[in-house]
Structures are given as C-alpha cells and as structure tokens.
Amino acid sequence: MSLLKKKVAREAALLLYTSQEKEYKQAKKRASENLRARILPSNLDVALELDEIAEEREGPLRNKRLIQMREEALRIMQKLKDFSPRLVGSLWRGTIHRNSDIDIIAFAFTSNSVLAQLQKSSFSIAKTERISVTKEGRKETSFHIYLMLPSGNEAEIVVRPVEKANHHEKCEIYGDMVTGLNTLQLTRVLRERPLARFIP
C-alpha cells in the first residue's frame, strides 16, 4: 500500500473511531477530501488501521471487554435459542473498539415472537425499527431490536425470515462469507479461546 493510501486509510479509521462517521464509504470519502488526496483505500485497509488504533488506545482493557461482550452475547443468544441466533460483526471477528456493539442475527416467522421473547427475559429494549435495503437490485426488509444492557453495552438483534437461516452474505470489509458463531460455537470459543479472532 502506498504511503498516501495508508494515510487516507488511517484518517478514515480515525473518523470511524471518533464517531465522526458511521459508514466506511463516507469515512473514506471524507478522509480523501481532508487530505486532498485522489485516492480511496479499500474497506480492508481501513479496517486494519481501525484495529491498530483500537489496540493503541485501549490496550489490555480491549481484551477484557471483548470477553465481557461475548459473554453478554451468549446470554442473549441462549434466551433466543428457538430462533437460531448467530453472533456477527466486530464481536464475532474479535476486532471490537470502544464504539462496538453486540450484533446478533435471529431467524423467525414473525419479528414479534423474537421481541416478545426478549421482553419476557427482562431485557431493556431501547427501540425497534424496520429497515429496508437494496441488495443486488432486490429490496430486503429486516426488523431491528436495540437492547441496552446493564453494563452499558448495546446489542442489536436483526430479525430475518426463517428461510434465510442457511444463507451467508459476503462481507463488504474482509471479502469472506459472514458465517458468524452459533450458540454452541460461541460457548466453545469462550471456554477454549475467548480472545479468538475470525478474520481471513
């Protein structure tokens, strides 16, 4: 990677880390403008810089928080066992930083059944929303449930149709398939390799 591209990637990563931007695409565009560069790094370039920044600034606390958040994710997934939950995102990857939340996908015939189960399990629901996105020319809608946990961490449960349970999407950052961890796999990771990273 050229020195200029690395600088733009670092700037984009800083924008994400400091919550000045939320999306990689916008962060890269703004970083390029800030540095008056006509070059855009890849999402992977930015992710690697973001990982480095988190390591530099958070130190050993980062590993402690990774384990804590994975334990919290497991508790949520155990309550959602009937919905084939899967841990994804930076918590699955092992690349969390201070703004990371817990990302879980659940599969159900109705989103209300997942919501009801979380309410029954006394989780604090901050909000819910239905989000539509266009993927490969097709419009897809998913239901998002946001939890506020006693630790102060946040969790986002995305409810998808049951027929999508065996469908894996390609990761826009790492280029591999987003397989995530099911409840059994996460239990094993916490027991055997709690700091495991899942990056290609």
Report the Cα 106 to chain-centroid distance in Å.
14
For residue 92, with 0-12 CB atoms within 10 Å meaning exposed, 13-18 middle and 19 or more buried, which class applies? Answer: buried
pLDDT of amino acid 90:
96
Beta strands at 102-107 and 154-160: parallel, antiparallel or unpaired? parallel
Nearest to 82 by CA among 125, 113, 120, 128: 113
Q: What is the overall mean pLDDT for the chain?
A: 94
Q: In the chain, what is the straight-line distance between the N-terminal and C-terminal CA atoms, in Å?
A: 18
* pLDDT (tens digit per residue) in 132-162: 887 777 888 899 999 999 999 999 999 999 9
Whether residue 2 has pLDDT greater than 90? no
Query: What is the set of domains in the chain, with CATH numbers?
Result: 3-58 (no CATH), 61-192 (3.30.460.10)
| pTM more than 0.85 | yes
pLDDT of amino acid 112:
95
Whether residue 1 has pLDDT greater than 80? no
